A = this chain, B = another copy of it.
Amino acid sequence: MTPGEQILYETAEKIYALEKQGKKILRLNIGEPDWRPPASAINQVSTALRKGHDKYASAAGEKELRERIAQIHQCRSENVVITPGSKWGIFMLLAQQAKPGENVIAFSPHWTGYESMCRGIGIRLQFIRLKEENNWKPDFEELTSAIDAGTRMIVLNSPANPTSHAWSEREEKELISIASEKRIPVLADDAYRDLCFDGRPDRPFTEEIRIAHTFSKTFGMTGWRLGYIIVPELLARQSIAFNQRSISNVPVFIQEAGNRLLIQKKKLAAKARKNCQARAGLAARMLGTKTEMVVPNAGFYAFPKIPASIPLPAFLDALLEKGIGVAPGPAFGNNPHHIRISLCRENKVLRPALEKITETVEEMTSSAT
């Protein structure tokens, strides 16, 4: 386990132990939407199964789904490979694009997954630290000087988990241009892209990027394991062969449900996005005065910094005492005073929880001074 995983694991275990003692814990530590795919998707699964669409299938994914995705991202269906979640897509791309000893660059605060994947494969993961005081904006000089002869990929983790901050389109362009100049591909981890509050369009595919996307967040389908990558054709063929020798294929009945959802993507994504934006606004208003927090512009996390005078472990324990679980900032890099709050609950649950968090900050600030 990486340190980040260890921290998340211990948090989950602590919550589990408390629950076993009969305590009720609101699990705001988990990054999972509270919305679900519409009934039409679930019905599609039954229909497909009854039709016998449950046999071995293409390791590339179903033609219809690949074509629809190609249309969305303005590329050829030959660029698209269906994966069991974007996690698998990222894992497969890292394993193919970097060899042990080589390195990959990502921006921190960061998703714990990158670290465990890179460690598993033997790749060195280099972080460029984004600063809260700069509103999580990237410093491109720092990026340029971090790139070396062993750099094989740069991860554009925007919108980022845990910050819920999305780069501007101008910043994204600058990153891609710096990387292209050095002939290093950019991996756009677009898990939260559809939840940018500015409603930006689907990312068009170009040869210098590799897109990893998932149905998990946009459609609330985390456990369905459905995602895709969009990559240059040669890499797509290699990725199809990688699928073929490992996972075979994503179940066709799941792909058919996904295909149905993409038809309604604009509408469903807009609904999820509005939901997220309202919750982010609520969190900013309620936490803003007691913590330091960059107001999120995407996704469903709040990532506030509590006063440095409060020891984080004691703060987390106090929250658990009040029945609230959140994820500790150190799980996502060098964030000793941050917490990640998943905002995926309806207002009547979320509001009192945020209130308790603010209260706890107040209580522990006054007791610390």
Contact = CB atoms under 8 A, between A and B. Distances in A.
A117 B251 contact: no
Contact of A54 (B1, B221, B251): B221
A36 interface: yes
A32 to B, nearest CB: 6
Interface centre among A54, A223, A253, by most chain B C-beta atoms within 10 angstroms, is A223
Contacts of A250: 225
Interface in A192-242: 221-225, 241-242
A147 interface: no
Contacts of A50: 42
Contacts of A311: none
Copies of this chain, how many? 2
A20 interface: no
A248 B247 CA distance: 12
A332 to B, nearest CB: 16
Contacts of A244: 5, 116
Nearest to A92: B246
A228 B225 CA distance: 17
A87 B248 contact: yes
A101 interface: no
A340 to B, nearest CB: 16
A159 interface: no
Interface centre among A54, A91, A222, A224, by most chain B C-beta atoms within 10 angstroms, is A54
Interface of A: 1, 5, 30, 32, 36-37, 42, 45-46, 49-50, 52-57, 84-85, 87-88, 91, 113, 116-117, 120, 221-225, 241-242, 244-254
27 contacts: A5-B244, A32-B55, A32-B56, A36-B52, A42-B46, A42-B49, A42-B50, A45-B49, A46-B46, A54-B221, A54-B223, A54-B224, A55-B222, A55-B223, A56-B223, A57-B223, A87-B245, A116-B244, A117-B245, A117-B246, A120-B242, A225-B247, A225-B248, A225-B249, A225-B250, A225-B251, A247-B247
Given A1-B241, A54-B221, A87-B247, 20 more contacts: A5-B244, A36-B52, A37-B54, A45-B45, A54-B222, A56-B222, A85-B247, A87-B248, A88-B246, A116-B244, A117-B246, A120-B245, A120-B246, A223-B249, A223-B253, A224-B251, A225-B248, A225-B250, A225-B251, A251-B254
